[in-house]
Structure 1
């Protein structure tokens, strides 16, 4: 009978010559155009195709060969929608795991609103059991014929013997009583198979010399094709390459399948198999790609790209806020592989879908063992009850869009029995339970949520398990409620996803008493943003969660193609190492504040549980920060690479850019001392030639009392007395030192930079500087200036003044420009309303780029505002 089946398959194979040219080096093994030769018994059904019927595949759905002028063979296989599912299967075609396969078919979908259709390619064993499936894209409508392609598929199981096409029609949430799905021009071909693998299941390495790339070829027509290996960095710059001439071995041709008889002039040519391994020289940690290209005399036949993460030695804290949610989509790695990967990439929390079938006890056993392994590695598990797995049987089928609140509504007897085995096994091991996926806000909209969740908690955990219950929550939903919450955490999300700044703003709002706030980290899509922007956004989101007190922060889709930290194949994405670096250095850390750096760079300071002080620093414009931060300072870039910064005397030189970097080893006492420094008065009255009293205060964060001196470096012409301030201050104590400040008559109004130079003796001698600002003026009078050239070449200077105090004042304003006579304007009764005055200077082009001085003197008062600016066109 098996011999007869093979002959039947043989008779089904007939392909037009044009099909041979569809893809390079492709050998057609099946072709069907539904022409006359496919219906020799005239029953309007293609010979050797199978119509599958059953409980979910009603026989009343019409399916038949239909005449069609635009079809390749004059007819199509057409299924008419009638409120049900349908499935049609092609004849079996013999295949081999030694080859790769490509498939095409023309499909047309018309007149349907809710149903959808697709073409799949199934690979089966000799008992016709499906082992592997390549799915086509779901289609609801095509304007005309559409070529549905299934790109190269490599059968990965030795038991695979046959392949078949499947035309699938699936009903929607509402029935379509009309509409059609038509299939034509079905084509399957084999190609040389190229499999690229590594010696790591996730391609995350902790050593520079551990990477091995293996390329296995089979079914190639040339015995010695060329294999090109290329190592690329994160920006796709080629770092090294190697060309290897593969020495192939002849594949033994056992002529026992239909595909081995097909096209005897070509397909029976010798095919070869071969294997080679490459060890790239990687000199530094970071993200890399390896491109593997196969070339023959016909040119490039195939290309594979492998991503690698060479992770530097950063220690993961035992306790942290950062985690991955594996409950929102497919996970390509198994539990064993995840158990190795997650600790490597600084994960402290994991969300897992747990609504499994009681009929599959081995799956539940594996889940239980995995949660125990995670606990041993200090990783908290969150059990997510969202949608039941496919083999869970409920009294009524749940649609794809049903919410968790609806799924668990009604009598618990309809769904609780399917959960009892899971709750019994897991609730004593897993403390955290979430109802619904991360974007399911259905519970938050219930009118009496507290009572509803109390009842649900009693149903789920009726044996008194000590669990923490949580639900999804929308950022925009109000939090005000005087009722005691009957849940412990809320998973916040938004659509579209929030930026780091927005996360911080929402977390700054009042929180509900006793309820933890969890946030989602959702990176920017790679197809819309460059790598640097995406990295910076990721770090900003993680910083916002840390700074504003989120108890946990989860990456929503870690294996997403466009937004994930990993690829859908389970290999590193470009953002994996920036995530790992940030999570490793900041998990469990305490936010201390910010420093004012001499170059103005943005920064955030944290203290880790190990008492290491870490600064995250970046700048909108590349700059250099020269400052003493400690004696053991190291820089760490977002890829985790660490180095000692350059020195300038006793100070470090930090190269700061838009991409955040981490600075470790800050002296804790000095960093906190710096942040404590402030002037008791930040405004200096704009009264010149007179001493103004002020104080500077600071706190000693050294473990013992210290003594030393303080010197203020002020703008040119400012006088400080006394010049040097001596102090002695006990451990943890606050010190205030008084000084007088006298301004010159031409001191600029507004903010000016002041440097405070400290010298102190403690366990050793220290020197460091603190940067602050003092504002000349009491802040009640604002003065702004803008310049431009008009059509006549005059320089137009617009002066805007406003007065925030209740008393109206007059000012005499004098403008001094190089090469021009002094100009004078009076401002009368200046109040809260903005006053605009305009100066016009001839030959304005000669003033561009030169400094101009504007002086505003209070009439019948002592205040003077000086404003110097550079003229702009």
Structure 2
């Protein structure tokens, strides 16, 4: 039998807004607009409950009241009177076959300190809350505020009913005036879609092993179509497949504690089924799989999961890169982390290790986990942060934001030391690195006489003579007293907001504190604010800067984070996992040796490992090709870990360089170092034409044996370089200088000018390669700029700016040449040029005809050295 109240509520639900107006595939299971559900006319909704307790007194009035702005003219209102309130709907039977969604309207008026929110609470048979999901908190709203919660999937096996609750909380001060009102509560069930792979964290080393499974329950149609789409990192579709699901009818037994429908009823709950797809992934990389259910009514549900397929890569056993899991929610078990972490290119991991007496099982797991990681060459850093819940701090609750200095140095050690003794005794033989507080906790950096305090703390913690290294958090922006000896071994440096790659380089170049290692954090840009290319480039720059400028250890901050993490909150890969892994694996254990000047001007950094193998990281904001001989076994690895062999043209490798860094492996170490060691002694050529200018080239033999060969210096057309062939013989490790002369032609362009040096070297075999350098033509004391703009009346305005950094004033005559025989050269004269900008302006009619053309400016010195500067510029609007 259905009781009278339940039948009345059911009838009320029938006249409520239909589920199709709310959600295309929802089935309404509860609705209340407070219009008719008051059988006994007591201004309290039938079957609703109110909870009383501390801060929720009886004298806070809660009742239904007439309100013309409510959906049906009535709402439930809590009138603030110095307290809060907790109001709950009737319990509604639910099943784990479905997801659930709640919609409601809330209004806050006249509150200065109090706030309210709506929750959906999932409870057992006795209404004990096992899971809950909440809306935002609201204070004063501009009229009614629509709230949407869900879809929410139930995970606890003992959940039987759902309850919709409005919670009103008082603030730091009580409100005697104001109110919160609730209206239009709608609870519905949705078909539940669960999409997963055959990996606990969706990271694979073989693309053939990937299987995606879609499980559905509570669907209305028996045989819907399930559509799978494979997307790349940029969300471009690569492949897809559609499979018709063979659903089976399912039933649900209603909960005895349901106050809405008689519990004796067993009713059909729709259909359920599962299907799987093996996406045709052909290469390593980051992918997404979109899964959607399609019925006669269209696409009703879709779900997206991320997958990373990682290539095999060797990580140095003592690398610098790690993950910091301190202060971060860890969605994976120790067993799952043991499988994941060795695949991420790390050699370090930070873990919170302070557990209590009631967590003996966690202690056993930590011991086993540290042993498993040690066997895989991953060092564990034990982080002492928030104490366990069973630790009694004089009966007081420990604030969530309490710093480690507050806990360990402002509380008597007899309170917390016994709890830590067991942790340190069990782990200190396996964990050699210990950190006080999470990475952002810099409380000891501001502690009076921190050296003395940490020394005494160290003696208490490790009084049994354990051989450990102790560290603490330190802000980047705080000056480090380098003259004082520290009592800690490392500083975990951090900043808010996080530093960029350039800022990291600047701070790391400051003198370190003696005897203290500097650990730094890599913190990606927020996913919601930047595109993938920008975030990837920034991540690479942070990692490279920290590596080049001497960070001892480099940790990824918050690796499990939807916004800035390498993994998601739920433990699946983000689009930055592979770029991190590629860079960490290839850079670990290497040392920075410099950068090359490439013919196309691309930026690059060179690293050498302990075996003498050289790696180049190369990128360019503007995509271009770099062509040069790099060695015999060259491979190019992109940020996704995919390796290719570059094309060879005229015995030179052709590198396709993009804004995302690429890693060039297998470079010949001797050739690379010979390139680095070759330089012009004089880098500036006076702009005096048809006169011989002496210079020298310094050569360095980086081979492990004596070499002989020739070097030919190739300059721009018209340059005379004598001799045109420079012979040399060098012992292993020897440096030598060889002279040459340059004569500039009359029309040589001023400024940075590229030259190429072609080498033929005879070592254990012949080598042919080129070195690229620049010489500055002109006078380093004279600055010359030329800009163009088109005026509204079509006149091309050319502005010339000159500056003399020498103390001696000088005069120049200037000639500007524009293309076309009908345009005569224009002439200006500069008198007594000093360390102040001199500005001259030239005008050309019909300036639009010159757009995109090249102008030539020739500046000749009057008297003195008779220097000549030739400058070219392209006409722009």
Worse overlay, 159-168 or 675-684: 159-168
Instruction: Say whether the 8 Å CA contact 1:61–1:86 is kept in structure 2.
Output: no
- Does structure 1 retain, via aligned residues, the 8 Å contact 2:91–2:258? no
Maintained 8 Å contact 1:356/1:392? no
Q: Is the 8 A contact 2:621 2:659 kept in 1?
A: yes
Matched residue, 1:664:
665
Give the CA deviation at 1:455. Answer: 3.0
Q: Which residue of 2 aligns with 1:78?
A: 78
Does structure 1 residue 864 correspond to structure 2 residue 868? yes
Cα separation, 1, equivalents of 2:657 and 2:810: 45
The separation in 1 between residues aligned to 2:721 and 2:388, in whole angstroms, is 75
Q: Report what 1:239 is aligned to.
A: 238
Task: Provide, for residues 632-653 of structure 1, a one-character-per-residue CA deviation record: whole Å limited to 9, x for no partner.
Answer: 1111111111110111021111
Q: Which runs of 5+ in 1 are unaligned?
A: none
Q: Distance in 2 between matches of 1:845 and 1:339?
A: 67
More deviation in 681-690 or 240-249?
Answer: 681-690
Aligned partners of 2:629, 2:283: CA distance in 1, in Å? 28
Equivalence for 1:653: 654
User: Are the aligned partners of 1:46 and 1:65 in contact in 2 as well (CA < 8 Å)?
Assistant: no
Change (3 A) 1:799 1:193: closer
Deviation at residue 736 of structure 1 after TM alignment? 1.5
C-alpha distance in structure 2 between counterparts of 1:152 and 1:438, whole Å:
35
Change (3 A) 1:7 1:841: closer
Cα distance in 2 for partners of 1:471, 1:63 equals 52
8 Å CA contact retained: 1:9, 1:93 = no
The C-alpha deviation readout for 1:372-402, integer Å capped at 9, x for no partner, is 2222222222222333355544222233443
Alignment of 1:517-596 (within 5 A): 517-596=518-597
Partner of 2:65: 67
CA distance in 2, matches of 1:788, 1:103: 61
Q: 1:337 to 1:604 in 2, by over 3 A?
A: same
Q: Which sits farther off after the overlay, 474-483 or 499-508?
A: 474-483
Report the Cα offset of residue 826 of structure 1. 3.8
Q: Does 1:756 align with 2:757?
A: yes
Aligned partner of 1:603 in structure 2 is 604
TM-score (norm: length of structure 2): 0.91
How big is the shift at 1:172? 5.3
Where 2:105 maps in the other structure, the secondary structure is strand
- C-alpha spacing 1:846/1:123, structure 2 compared with 1 (3 Å): closer
Distance 1:760-1:158 versus aligned 2 partners, 3 A rule = same
* Partners of 2:860 and 2:866 within 8 A in 1: no
| TM-aligned CA deviation for residue 709 of structure 1 | 0.6
Q: What's the counterpart of residue 49 of structure 1?
A: 49
Q: Deviations over 1:567-626 (max 9, x none)?
A: 212111111111111111112211111110000011111113443311111112111111
Residue 10 of structure 1: CA displacement?
8.2
Structure 2, unpaired ranges of 5+: none
Distance in 2 separating the partners of 1:304 and 1:149:
19
User: How many angstroms does 1:405 deviate by?
Assistant: 2.8
The 1:367–1:268 alpha-carbon spacing in structure 2 relative to 1, beyond 3 Å, is same
The number of residues matched between the two structures is: 866
Whether the 8 Å CA contact 1:293–1:300 is kept in 2: the answer is yes
In structure 2, the residue corresponding to 1:463 is in which secondary structure? coil
Q: 1:420 to 1:141 in 2, by over 3 A?
A: farther
User: How far is 1:846 from its partner?
Assistant: 5.0
Q: Is the 8 A contact 2:816 2:855 kept in 1?
A: no
Deviation, 1:827, is 3.2
Encode CA deviations 1:486-507: one digit per residue, 9 max, x unaligned: 2222222222222212221222
Partner of 1:120 in structure 2?
119
CA distance in 1, matches of 2:796, 2:856: 12
How far 1:161 moved relative to its partner?
2.5
Please give the alpha-carbon distance, in whole angstroms, between the structure 1 residues aligned to 2:24 and 2:828.
82
Question: How has the CA–CA distance of structure 1 residues 313 and 226 changed in structure 2, closer, same or farther, with 3 Å as cutoff?
Answer: same
- Residue 540 of structure 2 aligns to a residue whose secondary structure is helix
Distance 1:456 1:86 in 2: 46
Q: Is the 8 A contact 2:52 2:58 kept in 1?
A: no
Match of 2:346 in 1: 347
Contact preservation (8 Å) 1:7, 1:258? no
Query: Is 1:855 aligned to 2:854, yes or no?
Result: no
1:495 and 2:496 are equivalent in the alignment: yes
Q: Cα deviations across residues 284-308 of structure 1 (Å, max 9, x unaligned)?
A: 2111111111122333221111111
- CA offsets 1:685-731 (integer angstroms, 9 cap, x no match): 33333322211112211111111110000112221221111111111
Q: 1:279 to 1:831 in 2, by over 3 A?
A: same
Check the 8 A contact 1:34/1:65 in 2, yes or no: no
Tell me if structure 1 keeps the 8 A contact 2:788–2:876: yes
Aligned partner of 1:405 in structure 2 is 405
TM-score, normalization: structure 1? 0.92
Q: 1:17 aligns with which of 15, 18, 43?
A: 15
8 Å Cα contact 2:94-2:254 kept in structure 1:
no
Task: Output the CA distance in 1 between the equivalents of 2:324 and 2:142.
Answer: 39
Aligned to 1:630: 631
Distance in 1 between the 2:471 and 2:272 partners? Answer: 54
Q: CA deviation at 1:269?
A: 5.1
Cα offset for 1:146? 2.8
Mapped partners of 1:664, 1:475: distance in 2: 34
Equivalent runs, 1:759-838 vs 2, <5 Å: 759-789=760-790, 795-818=796-819, 819=821, 820-838=823-841
- 3-state SS of the aligned residue for 2:358? coil
Deviation of the 1:870 alpha carbon? 3.9
Q: The residue matched to 1:440 in structure 2 has which SS? A: coil
Give the whole-Å Cα distance in 2 for the aligned partners of 1:871 and 1:41: 85
Name the CA distance, whole Å, in 2 between partners of 1:148 and 1:478: 48
CA contact (8 A) 1:61 1:79 kept: no
1:549 is paired with a residue of what secondary structure?
coil
1:457-492 deviations in Å (ceiling 9; x for gaps): 333333333332222222221123422112222222
The alpha-carbon deviation at position 114 of structure 1 amounts to: 5.3
Q: Is the 8 A contact 2:92 2:260 kept in 1?
A: no
- Alignment deviations for residues 311-360 of structure 1 (CA, whole Å, 9 cap, x no partner): 12222222222222222332211211111111111122222223333322
Task: Give the 3 Å change call, closer, same or farther, for CA 215–870 of structure 1 in structure 2.
Answer: closer
Q: How does 1:724-735 map to 2 (within 5 A)?
A: 724-735=725-736
Pairing 1:304–2:303 present: yes
Offset from partner CA, 1:263-293 (integer Å, 9 cap, x none):
99x9945622111111111112111111111
CA distance in structure 2 between the partners assigned to 1:633 and 1:678 by the alignment: 25
Cα shift readout 1:148-175 (whole Å, capped 9, x = no counterpart): 3321222234443233334445565666
Change (3 A) 1:450 1:142: farther
Matched residues in 2 for 1:486 and 1:46: separation? 67
d(CA) in 1 for partners of 2:88 and 2:353?
34
Cα distance per residue 1:16-43 (max 9 Å; x no partner)? 4324423233223334445664574949
Cα distance, 1:653–1:567 mapped onto 2, change above 3 Å: same
Counterpart Cα distance in 2 of 1:564 and 1:253 = 40
How many angstroms apart in 1 are the aligned matches of 2:13 and 2:380? 54
Are 1:281 and 2:261 counterparts?
Answer: no
Does residue 367 (structure 1) correspond to residue 366 (structure 2)? The answer is yes
The answer to whether the 8 A contact 1:9-1:92 is kept is no
Q: Give the structure 2 partner of residue 439 of structure 1.
A: 440
Q: Helix, strand or coil for the counterpart of 2:357?
A: coil
Question: Would the aligned equivalents of 2:687 and 2:777 in 1 still touch at CA under 8 Å?
Answer: yes
Q: CA deviation at 1:865?
A: 2.6
Q: Distance in 2 between matches of 1:791 and 1:182?
A: 62
Residue pair 1:695, 1:739 contacting (<8 A) in 2 also: yes
- Look up the match of 2:29: 29
Whole-angstrom CA distance in 1 between matches of 2:62 and 2:138: 20
Alignment of 1:455-470 (within 5 A): 455-470=456-471
Partner of 1:229: 228
In structure 1, what is the Cα distance between the partners aligned to 2:96 and 2:791? 77
Change (3 A) 1:863 1:591: same
> How far does the alpha carbon of each residue in 1:505-545 deviate from its partner, in whole angstroms, 9 at most, with x for none?
22222222222222222211222211111111111111111
Matches within 5 A, 1:737-756: 737-756=738-757
